[in-house]
Amino acid sequence: MTPVGTLRLPAAIHFGFGSRAQLPELLAAHGTRVLAIVDPFLTGTPLFTETRAALEAAGLEVEVYSDIRPELPVASLDAAAEVARAYAPDAILAIGGGSAIDAAKLVALLLAHGGPLSRFYGENAVPGPTVAVIAVPTTAGTGSEVTPVAVISDPERELKVGISSAHLIPVGAVVDPELTFGAPASVTAFSGIDALVHLVESYTAASLEPDWSTELPVFTGRNVFSELIALQGVEQLGSWLTVAVAEPQNRLAREKVAFASLLGGMSFGPTGTHLSHALQYPIGASTHTPHGLGTGLMLPYVLNAFMTDAAVVERIASVGVALGSRAATSAEQADDAIASIARINLAIGVPSSLADIGVTRDELPRFAELGMKSARLAGISPVPATTELLLDILEHAHAGRLNERTAS
């Protein structure tokens, strides 16, 4: 198959210490009324109050909304949209972790097109542009500031629900590593390992033949643009994530992890992720564990299941080299990739088995079936996804057993 690629990103992406100083200019391009959707624990911090003061000094009017609920229940987003509708913002500023940024995307969607949100579930159901969103992450992991996805909880659904559309991509992203210094060690760990999963799964995604004559899916599989950046992000996280967790004030580590997270979002935004994410959704719903903990736990077992496919082994081998493998053969480099990821997990506190997070063995068949229902994710697996394959991955993950060649 000849190389293909699609790239959809914010019109402006700024990265670096102090880059938040660009916010007045980015927001003023859309008007003067700004709704700031902010994680609740950030509203009284010096960094936020200084940012708000800078916006107001530039002549912008700022209304703050901070009632952001974990897992983003649908009802909480409807309530946020009511507040936003009464204020009638010209632009939305999202400051916080992935939930705050996803909330901003969905409020912008509701302002532009009305509800209910269930009208937009799935792919390409958003009919047109939304209110402009400028996204400023305070954690390094989700990459939501540059992606076309928002994930919510709907009590009528067994799993989390995704809304995927190029219209959800923020118009601007500002990634200032200084804003991540306040993240607790567990947040740094679990968001950081999720960024590694984004990078690895986008790099190992299936090659899909696009139909250029019709509307493209949001996620188009292996992507020549993603390949330019994914391994760079893997290398940086492999070197610096454990340092950022152990030394939260390490300025260089924070910079490297924030940049790698941004690369992860840029990489999987057009490409998609696959089986670690497909399996995490039912696992997370059952265990109420953080998303990144689940995807990070599953990644070594997912890659291990691909080791029977020679073409995929070559891709995993490149990940191994990026993580420092000096082995002579592709198979050995791929083994090293899996072992390296398992060691990173151990170092940052990601459990090594599903049993460690309370999953019972009799739950595994149901998780496999639910994982297959995430058709968008399963379809991007480089090895054809079946219920049997997912169950085999889950069995290994429950026992905490990688093949002997990858055991650390």
Q: Are residues 135 and 283 in the same domain?
A: no
Average pLDDT over every residue of 127-145: 97
Say what the pLDDT of residue 379 is.
95
Query: What span, in angstroms and rounded, lies between the C-alpha atoms of 53 and 41?
Result: 18
Residue 319: its H or E element:
helix 310-322
Per-residue confidence at 154, pLDDT binned at 50, 70, 90? confident
Q: Are residues 165 and 230 in the same domain?
A: no
**Distance between first and last Cα of the chain:** 36
Say what the pLDDT of residue 241 is.
98
Domain end among 165, 180, 195:
180
Q: Is residue 4 part of a domain?
A: no
Q: Is the predicted pLDDT of residue 408 greater than 60, yes or no?
A: no
Q: What is the pLDDT of residues 60-118, one digit of tens each?
A: 999 999 999 988 999 999 999 999 999 999 999 999 999 999 999 999 999 999 999 99
Q: Is residue 3 part of a domain?
A: no
Domain end among 119, 149, 180:
180
Q: Is residue 113 part of a domain?
A: yes
Tell me which of 132-136, 230-234, 281-285, 335-339 is least confident.
Answer: 281-285
Q: Are residues 135 and 265 in the same domain?
A: no
Average pLDDT over every residue of 295-316: 97
CATH number of the domain that residue 79 is part of: 3.40.50.1970
Say what the pLDDT of residue 194 is.
98
Average pLDDT, the chain: 95
Q: Are residues 69 and 140 in the same domain?
A: yes
Say what the pLDDT of residue 155 is.
81
Closest to 179 (Cα-Cα) out of 11, 14, 56: 14
Average pLDDT over every residue of 139-159: 90
Domain end among 180, 211, 243:
180
Q: Is residue 341 part of a domain?
A: yes
Q: What is the pLDDT of residues 250-276, one digit of tens each?
A: 999 999 999 999 999 999 999 999 999
Angle between helices 291-305 and 185-203 (to 10 degrees): 30
Q: Are residues 129 and 238 in the same domain?
A: no
Q: Are residues 190 and 261 in the same domain?
A: yes
Say what the pLDDT of residue 71 is.
85
Q: Is the predicted pLDDT of residue 404 greater than 80, yes or no?
A: no
Q: What is the pLDDT of residues 180-192, one digit of tens each?
A: 999 999 999 999 9
Q: What is the pLDDT of residues 53-76, one digit of tens each?
A: 999 999 999 999 999 998 899 999
Q: Are residues 109 and 217 in the same domain?
A: no
Number of domains, the chain: 2
**Cβ proximity of 102 and 145 under 8 Å:** no
Average pLDDT over every residue of 129-151: 96
The pLDDT > 70 percentage for the chain reads: 98
Q: Are residues 170 and 221 in the same domain?
A: no
Say what the pLDDT of residue 159 is.
73
Closest to 366 (Cα-Cα) out of 272, 273, 281, 292: 281
Average pLDDT over every residue of 7-34: 97
Q: Is residue 139 part of a domain?
A: yes
Which residue type occupies 371? G
Q: Is residue 343 part of a domain?
A: yes
Average pLDDT over every residue of 161-173: 96
Q: Is the predicted pLDDT of residue 25 greater than 70, yes or no?
A: yes
Q: Is residue 1 part of a domain?
A: no
Q: Is residue 322 part of a domain?
A: yes
Average pLDDT over every residue of 282-292: 93
Q: Are residues 241 and 273 in the same domain?
A: yes
Q: Are residues 115 and 250 in the same domain?
A: no
Q: Is the predicted pLDDT of residue 1 greater than 90, yes or no?
A: no
CATH number of the domain that residue 272 is part of: 1.20.1090.10
Query: What span, in angstroms and rounded, lies between the C-alpha atoms of 374 and 202?
Result: 16
- Paired tokens of 347: 């170092």
Q: Are residues 176 and 211 in the same domain?
A: no
Query: How many alpha carbons fall within 13 Å on the CB side of residue 214?
Result: 6
**Cβ proximity of 372 and 346 under 8 Å:** no
E-assigned strand segments in 51-129: 61-65, 91-96, 122-123
Phi/psi of residue 11, each to 5°? Answer: -65, -30
Query: What span, in angstroms and rounded, lies between the C-alpha atoms of 175 and 14?
Result: 6
Which residue segment(s) compose the domain that 314 sits in? 185-406
Q: Are residues 201 and 271 in the same domain?
A: yes
